[in-house]
Amino acid sequence: MGVPEDNSGVSLYLPLSILGFVLAVASVGIRMAVRNARDSSGRRSLPSWADPAYFAALALSESSAVFGLVLGLMGSGWKGTLPLLAVGALAMLSNHPAAFFPRREED
């Protein structure tokens, strides 16, 4: 009798990879929306929802790395795990606080 093969890691590879990349791009999109927010006179301003947007962007970028970790724990191997971990790390690095919040001008 042969040992049955467990293909659950392979069957989740494509959906989790696509979702991980989409969420990483969405996190960068949130950052772009905050940076390009303008007030009624057309000047760039920090919106009131910048803090929740910052936390949402970090959560979205971290989720792609978590998907890579899940695939690795399910036996996907480094070829399935490393791209999602790298995308998650790059998205988190691009969403650093200085990218969301402008520096305060010193008088």
Q: What is the pLDDT of residue 6?
A: 58
Looking up tokens 């919106």, which residue turns up? 47
pTM: 0.76
Q: What is the pLDDT of residue 105?
A: 60
Q: What is the pLDDT of residue 21?
A: 94
Q: What is the pLDDT of residue 18?
A: 92
Report the chain (107 residues): mean pLDDT per 10 consecutive residues. 54 87 93 83 80 91 92 83 92 85 62
Longest dimension (CA), the chain: 79
Q: What is the pLDDT of residue 23?
A: 94
Token output for 66:
């978590």
Token output for 67:
């998907």
* 58 neighbors 26 (Cβ within 8 angstroms): no
- Dihedrals φ, ψ of 38, to 5°? -130, 150
